[in-house]
A = this chain, B = another copy of it.
Amino acid sequence: MNFASDNAWGAHPAVLAALADANGGAVMGYGADPVTARAEAALREVLDAPDAIIRFVATGTAANALVCAQLSPGHGRIYCHQDAHIETSECGAPEFFSGGAKLVTLPGEGGKMQPDTLANAIRRGAGGGLNGGLNAMVSITNATEWGTLYSPDEVAALAEVAHQGGLPLHMDGARFANAVAGLGCAGADLTWRAGVDALCFGGTKNGAMGAEAVVFFDPALAEGFDYRRKQSGHVFSKQRFLAAQMLALATDGLWSQLGRAANAKAARLADGILASGGTLLQPVQSNAVFATIPAAAHARARAAGAIYHLWPDKSAAGLDPVPIRLVTAWDMPDEDVEAFISLLTAG
């Protein structure tokens, strides 16, 4: 029973099979191989974006930070939610890659930035002269760090604000598949059709070993990006093995199917929590559950070996009820989910 993170879980058999398929014989390195070409084409099709520039890296931090550095100069201001992964969990990668950009963090319920909050912040930034740096870009996460979702309309509203300020919009899609599955929309609806300029399409949490796609919907935004990726050590020499993972996910809708599977487990957890007297701290819209459970239930779960994070951190240990975060994955056994629910009510 490991609900610590979706990255605690494994890789889909189709991913391993794709690696085996890609193996054998010689191909040119650094992305000039047929697997890379097929994977890029497959993702362009998935996103209905025939002109998009797509590049693969192995980690979400690399994907996000490279996009930040691509869209913001070192003296830029990057607007994001105060709980954004790029702010809280990447050890300053966006600042490092960009040469010093400043993350301007904004509040917002459920991990979601509101258009008027963003508009005000952009206005203040624009009026700040040299002191605060140059308005550079906006970044949102979808699914958010709180498991909630921006709908296509909500994304479009933020994109409109960003674009009015002359800023491109980046979407950190570490759990993009979960977002699309949760919303039941097309990937294009949630991205370029809504005004997203650059997407980090997460493969790792979706079922890859370690693979993410950086997508620039406007090719002009990708100028020089290959050099940037190379200089940061994120161009693989045997890139076919990176691309193969994304190819597997993009084939026959596997990415979407795995997203739905993970979400379903979270929904079941949420039902179980509510039924057992717990409360949900956020609506459960993707594959994360933020909830409180009675201290006694927590004690039983821990005693039974269940792994999950207290939220926001260990300081919650003494509370009753206890705030927790549970994250589900496509390959988490339903038995684990049911076992956890049983523990909640076993008292």
Contact surface of A with B, Cβ cutoff 8 Å = 2, 4-5, 7-11, 16, 19-20, 23-30, 57-63, 65-66, 73-76, 88-93, 95-97, 99-102, 124, 127-128, 130-134, 204-205, 209-210, 224, 226-228, 230-238, 241-242, 307, 313-314, 329, 332
Q: How distant is A324 from chain B, measured CB to nearest CB, in Å?
A: 17
Contact indicator B238/A209 (Cβ below 8 Å):
yes
Q: How distant is A210 from chain B, measured CB to nearest CB, in Å?
A: 5
Q: How distant is A198 from chain B, measured CB to nearest CB, in Å?
A: 16
Contact indicator A237/B4 (Cβ below 8 Å):
no
Out of B20, B73, B228, B230, name the residue touching A16 (CB < 8 Å).
B20
The interface centre, meaning the residue of A16, A25, A57, A102 with most chain B CB atoms within 10 A of its CB, is A102
C-alpha gap A236/B234 in the complex (Å): 12
Contact indicator A231/B23 (Cβ below 8 Å):
no
Contact indicator B235/A61 (Cβ below 8 Å):
yes
Evaluate whether A231 and B131 lie within 8 angstroms (CB atoms) in the complex, with A16-B19, A19-B209 already known: no
Evaluate whether A130 and B26 lie within 8 angstroms (CB atoms) in the complex, with A210-B58, A224-B75, A241-B209 already known: no
Closest to A58 in B: B58
C-alpha gap A92/B128 in the complex (Å): 13
Contact indicator A10/B25 (Cβ below 8 Å):
yes
Q: Please, which residues of chain B bring their CB within 8 A of the CB of A65?
A: 233
Q: Please, which residues of chain B bring their CB within 8 A of the CB of A224?
A: 73, 75, 134
